[in-house]
Amino acid sequence: MSDIDTKYTALGGPGGWLGQPTSPELAAPDGIGRYRHFQGGSIYWSPSTGAHEVHGAIRVKWASLGWERSFLSYPLTDESTTPDGVGRYNHFQGGSIYWTPSTGAHEVHGAIRGKWASLGWERSFLGYPLTDESTTPDGVGRYNHFQGGSIYWTPSTDAHEVHGAIRGKWASLGWERSFLGYPLTDESTTPDGVGRYNHFQGGSIYWTPSTDAHEVHGAIRGKWASLGWERSFLGYPLTDESTTPDGVGRYNHFQGGSIYWTPSTGAHEVHGAIRGKWASLGWERSFLGYPTSDELSTEDGTGRYSEFQHGSIYWSPATGALVCKETIRLHVKCLTAPTRFSINTMISNMRLTFATAQVGVKYVSFEVLSLADLNDLDVGACTLGSTTTEQTQLFSHRNSAGANDIVVYFVRSTVPPFNGCASHPTGRPGAVVASGASQWTMAHEVGHVLGIHHVNDSNRLMTGGGTDNITNPPPDIIASESATMLGSALTN
Ligand SMILES: [Zn+2]
């Protein structure tokens, strides 16, 4: 008896479901194995696989692929019931064919079969295959669709599953022919345990029950990643990347804010009350344009601000969000650090008071100067429009400062002793601040540089009675003073 005869006998012979032979045992066309057809199916044998039966829809699928000469080659099993009790399968040397009454018979093989197996075969969320392995429309990859999702493979990306709402989003964008390309991961749980994501060649799709599935890619995805993905204050995306109404930029909204990008400004986040203020003005179509920074902390941590193409928005708990239409560019050069209030406190206080006058502060540079001869600076009578020889010498140290940038020099003292002095040579805008200065001195002196003068009112920044005597911090800058500051050539 041949091995085929033995298998036939074991399956019941002529009285079994195979019934009567319809052919003699013959050599297979590939020259390796042998087979015999019966009324109810076939038995195939090869030296390495032994004899196994194939029948029904699985046999029809195998035949349609080319029998043993197909990539499936010879059967490794008889037709068997799947562990879930619903379907039937044969394993072959080159893959498997799975069948259920509702899905029909489909082959699965190679890396896609390996991925499906690793997930738990038909008992996984993928269920049974709905297609044979097929070539993608772009001609690069391969896929099987399953009841519960799909597995996509390319030589460079390997095989990954995509399913559910994420698969739906990917499909809506155009599958692998979209900018997303092929999946680089299976669907995975996010580190915060709330959401799910697939990474793709060209971006990612993130899903949560409350936000649904949205794609994020490119520089916006890079910014989001740099902030900490969904664990950042931004949380999950609420939109796909979208074109701004002005047609120039791109954005994603997130649970906790937005990221805006343009070719010239790059990608920056904006959130909270500052975002609310920007939105109320009309987003990127407002005079502010696009954000040019993420939200930043003031130097002393008491305030926040975001810079935009044409201004900034400042926020503090005391003031809420304030729009700065113009900006000064500030450089600090330090001969002696102040002793009562830090430079950071003075700059932060200047940001606060100036924001109430719609003037923002761009802190451009800090430099230590070793100029012992100018550390107790002769300022004469500190008369605006005239300078001493020492002031002229000190203000010649501008380095990178532009012609309309303001340079504040921190010195040990002035001679005679003042908290500061705003007189400066023509074309070298700036001021000096002494080490014993008050927390408002820097703002006060820069106020002079911007063209506002002393008043007899200790509620106001420009009080002539000494900024240590200010009675209502932060001190006021009144509307006409704001207009003067905004009209200065030093605000832009
Ligand atoms: Zn003054």
8 Å CB contact between 354 and 360: yes
CA–CA separation, 205 vs 178, rounded Å? 13
Q: Is 45 helix (H, G, I), strand (E, B) or coil?
A: strand
Q: Could you tell me the distance, in angstroms and rounded to a whole number, from the CA of residue 485 to the centre of ligand 1? A: 15
* Three-state DSSP string of 13-38: HHHCCCCCECCCCEECCCCCCEEEEE
Q: Is 471 helix (H, G, I), strand (E, B) or coil?
A: coil
DSSP for 374-394, please give it: GSEEE-TT--TT---HHHHHH
Q: Could you tell me the distance, in angstroms and rounded to a whole number, from the CA of residue 243 to the centre of ligand 1? A: 49
Rounded to a whole number of angstroms, the CA Rg of the chain reads 38
Q: Determine if the peptide bond prior to 416 is cis (ω within 30°).
A: yes
What's the chain's average pLDDT?
98
- H-run or E-run covering 64: helix 56-65
Q: Could you tell me the distance, in angstroms and rounded to a whole number, from the CA of residue 408 to the centre of ligand 1? A: 14
DSSP for 394-451, please give it: HHT--TT--TT-EEEEEESEEES--SEE----TT--EEEEETT--TTHHHHHHHHHTT
Per-residue pLDDT tens for 167-177?
999 999 999 99
Burial 289-324 (b: 16+ CB within 10 A, else e): bbbbbbbeebbbeebbbbbbeebbbbbbeeeebbbb
24 pLDDT more than 90: yes
Q: Could you tell me the distance, in angstroms and rounded to a whole number, from the CA of residue 298 to the centre of ligand 1? A: 24
Per-residue pLDDT tens for 307-337?
999 999 999 999 999 999 999 999 999 999 9
pLDDT score at 443? 98
400 pLDDT more than 90: no
8 Å CB contact between 440 and 349: yes
437 pLDDT more than 90: yes
194 pLDDT band (50/70/90 cuts)?
Answer: very high
Q: Could you tell me the distance, in angstroms and rounded to a whole number, from the CA of residue 402 to the centre of ligand 1? A: 24
8 Å CB contact between 166 and 178: no
Q: Could you tell me the distance, in angstroms and rounded to a whole number, from the CA of residue 462 to the centre of ligand 1? A: 6
Beta-bridge mates of residue 317: none
Across 72-89, average pLDDT: 98
Q: Could you tell me the distance, in angstroms and rounded to a whole number, from the CA of residue 223 to the centre of ligand 1? A: 44
492 pLDDT more than 90: yes
Across 449-458, average pLDDT: 98
pLDDT score at 157? 98
Q: Could you tell me the distance, in angstroms and rounded to a whole number, from the CA of residue 167 to the centre of ligand 1? A: 66
CA–CA separation, 461 vs 171, rounded Å? 61
Across 112-141, average pLDDT: 98
Best CA proximity match to 243, nearest among 211, 294, 285, 293: 285
Per-residue pLDDT tens for 421-435?
999 999 999 999 999
Q: Could you tell me the distance, in angstroms and rounded to a whole number, from the CA of residue 425 to the centre of ligand 1? A: 17
Q: Is 299 helix (H, G, I), strand (E, B) or coil?
A: coil
C-alpha distances (whole Å) from 122 to each of 110, 119, 127, 196, 294 are 16, 9, 4, 22, 48
Per-residue pLDDT tens for 233-282?
999 999 999 999 999 999 999 999 999 999 999 999 999 999 999 999 99
* Domains of the chain by start residue, with CATH: 1-108 (no CATH), 229-324 (no CATH), 325-487 (3.40.390.10)
Q: Could you tell me the distance, in angstroms and rounded to a whole number, from the CA of residue 301 to the centre of ligand 1? A: 27
8 Å CB contact between 350 and 315: no
8 Å CB contact between 358 and 486: yes
Q: Could you tell me the distance, in angstroms and rounded to a whole number, from the CA of residue 382 to the centre of ligand 1? A: 9
Q: Could you tell me the distance, in angstroms and rounded to a whole number, from the CA of residue 445 to the centre of ligand 1? A: 6
